[in-house]
Amino acid sequence: MKRGLLIVLALVAALAAGWLVGRGDEDEPTAELTGPGPDVVVNKLPAPEETDELGYPGFATKNTTRVAGEDAIAAAAGVALAVYPATGGGASPDAVSLVDARDWPSGVAAASLMAEPIGAPVLVTQGAELPQLSADAIAQLEPGGSADTGGAEAFAIGVARAPDELRSDQLEGDNPAELAVAIQRLRARLSGEDPEHVVVTTSDDPEYAMPAASWAARSGDPVLFVGRDTVPGPTSRALEELAKENVDVYVLGPEAAISEQAFDEIDEIAGGAERIEGEGPVASSIEFARFSDGSFGWNINDPGHGFVVASEERPLDAAAAAPLSASGTWGPLLVSDEVEALPADLRAYLLDLKPGYEDDPTRALYNHVWVIGDENALSVDFQAQLDEIAELAPVSSGTGSPQEENQPSDDRAGGSSSPDGSGGTS
């Protein structure tokens, strides 16, 4: 039965009545928060065993929504059913992508299959076996195949296998580089065109590669993998082919993840490449969110956007959450290396983009943040702090900045209001 939407509606009704979900032991059902956000009362939910128990969204504040999966299997099922609601006559995806829970690189690369015209969300297997949550999600999503998917209802990648009842394409490879190239070629065949850009990132340091998934889902640009000091043969050959089509190459990750030696090799093969980097995974994800070069890059440097935040400890969450970057509020993935409080770099970036208004908040721009994973991945305090920073704030006439406590000392809180009070920046 397709009961997932009923749970969503029940949660929304509860939230509207002032009830927010959250955490605590069974004998201590409530807990006080000490973060800068508003107090949030939370009831801890048991781990879901089927999609009807996902309780999507796990809990929400006025500016954030959590997909509270205890692992990537649950997160992927929750996101897929949120993007493609299983009841009410909404559209279903034509296909799904299946990746093994231990194969985060394939998940990041498979995110490109979420972009138009294919639209295949990632679901997670346990080797060749399909967990109940993923099986239930497929049953509710009812992928039917189309010309855009070559008739396939599932794309099974690496050791993952599709259920016998689905028409499927099996993508084989012995390593991340081979599988990423197989995904790149599949997308080119199905879309009928070469990409404008390609992202090359590390298969050794997942925390630096995670943001590539959201961009791949947004744009359809393929993701290829290199080692810290080497460019594998499959990646090298793919770059040579793409160079003939004048595809622009962007390298995601600092020297600590992709050495200068490896970058120089990529640059030579591709006939030019540009590196996007930051000091640490949090800063690197922010630099990627800020980056813009022609038609490439998020260029998120002003308020009025969606964002997705995930823990660096759960790299496959990047692939699970990728459909949120290809629909809804279309936001980049930001990585956190902390569980209980916002990292300083992430806090400063979001304060830069804090929305504001002068006269009429109903005409303002708004930020919204998706939080991926349960409270063991990113705590409720963490979420409350995100809510506070994303909150629309009044702008004092003439200051151009929302009135927010704990602004950075260089007054980079951003969110300056346009003359009409929209909260935009010029």
Instruction: Give me the pLDDT at residue 395, please.
Output: 83
Strand order in the sheet with 333-336: 59-60, 64-67, 368-372, 306-311, 333-336
Task: Tell me whether residue 405 is in a domain.
Answer: no
User: How far from 140 is each of 15, 46, 386, CA to CA, in Å?
Assistant: 25, 22, 32
Instruction: Give me the pLDDT at residue 357, please.
Output: 87
Q: How confident is the model at residue 65 (pLDDT cuts 50, 70, 90)?
A: very high
- Looking at the chain, the number of H-run helices and the number of E-run strands are 13, 15
Domain of 297, in residue numbers:
4-394
The radius of gyration of the chain from alpha carbons, rounded to an integer in Å, stands at 21
Instruction: Give me the pLDDT at residue 17, please.
Output: 35
Instruction: Give me the pLDDT at residue 148, please.
Output: 97
Task: Tell me whether residue 337 is in a domain.
Answer: yes
Task: Tell me whether residue 318 is in a domain.
Answer: yes
DSSP letter for 36, please. Answer: S
Instruction: Give me the pLDDT at residue 57, please.
Output: 55
Residue 56 has pLDDT above 70, yes or no: no
Q: Which residue has the higher pLDDT, 130 or 56?
A: 130
Instruction: Give me the pLDDT at residue 28, please.
Output: 37
pTM value surpassing 0.85:
no
Mean pLDDT for the stretch of residues 156-171? 98
| pLDDT 10s digits, 393-419 | 998 655 555 654 444 433 333 333 333
| Total domains in the fold of the chain | 1
Task: Tell me whether residue 400 is in a domain.
Answer: no
Instruction: Give me the pLDDT at residue 48, please.
Output: 64
3-state secondary structure of 298: coil
Mean pLDDT for the stretch of residues 5-21? 35
Q: How many CB atoms lie within 10 A of CB 233?
A: 11
% the chain with pLDDT above 90: 74
Task: Tell me whether residue 153 is in a domain.
Answer: yes
Task: Tell me whether residue 411 is in a domain.
Answer: no
Q: How confident is the model at residue 205 (pLDDT cuts 50, 70, 90)?
A: very high
